[in-house]
Amino acid sequence: MSGPIGLVTGSKPFAGLPTNPAEIVLPFIDGMVVDGITIVAKATPVSRNGLPSHLPALVEQYRPAFVLALGLALGAPTVRAETIAVNACHFAVPDNEGVRPLGGEPIHADGPAARIATWDAEAIVEAILAEDIPAKTSFHAGTHLCNLTLYTYLGALDAIGLKGPCGFLHLPYLPEQVVWMMRHRGKEPGSAHSGTLELPSMGLETQIRAVKATLHALTRQAHAAGTANPSPPLKTEEALP
């Protein structure tokens, strides 16, 4: 693939749910070309142990002009543009391998206490609001894998000298997810549907529009930062499967 790339990743389903909007939106944006930047969209595993190596490998392969990570915020009423990732893991819900770190276990033992997202989150929110979609900035990405993803991406980009904007967008439940939980109400600890089910949600079409608005804003930021120039891709035999 030639030309600058915008890397977008979304988490696979977790917490006992059969779907995740962060993954569902990916086919709707994969291959888009936004102001000269081609979008590459990839689903990522829900793995405490796997993500710290998987995400830097994606950054090394694509050398992106920008990075956008997507995840589901359980019970969030709006789209949230995250600004800070902390070097801590405390999982209320286990990952898909049953791993559940507690007590603020460090993501990277030698890493900084926090990393600041390099996108202009306020501009992202304004772009989403312009589509008449509720959105807000957030100063705490949690202590689950969404936070770990942002922290890891920021470190990976810095490690190889890439200066493109990078941020994390939290998405609400889809209405059909809430319906599914109502029909499969359970009391199992660690499942999303073990608590109250009077939950806010946002339709898929609206979430796709929010993500596309984010991509247009990120593309403008990448051009302003001078990172929207082609970077040499890895040789074929070095690329990820």
Beta bridge partners of 71: 170
DSSP string, 80-118: EEE-EEES-B--SS--TTS----S-B-SSTTS-SEEE--
What digits encode the pLDDT tens for the residues 176-214?
Answer: 999 999 888 755 555 555 556 789 999 999 999 999 999
Phi, psi at 16, each rounded to 5°: 80, 0
Q: Which CATH number fits domain 5-238: 3.30.43.10, 3.20.20.370, 3.90.1200.10, 3.40.630.20?
A: 3.40.630.20
CA dist list (Å): 118 to 134, 176, 198: 22, 33, 35
* Cβ neighbours of residue 241 closer than 8 Å, sequence gap 6 or more: none
Mean pLDDT of the chain: 91
Amino acid in the structure at residue 157: L
Catalytic residue annotation = 82, 146, 170
62 in Cβ contact with 157 (< 8 Å): no
Question: Rounded to two decimals, what is the model's pTM?
Answer: 0.90
Q: Is the pLDDT of residue 144 over 90?
A: yes
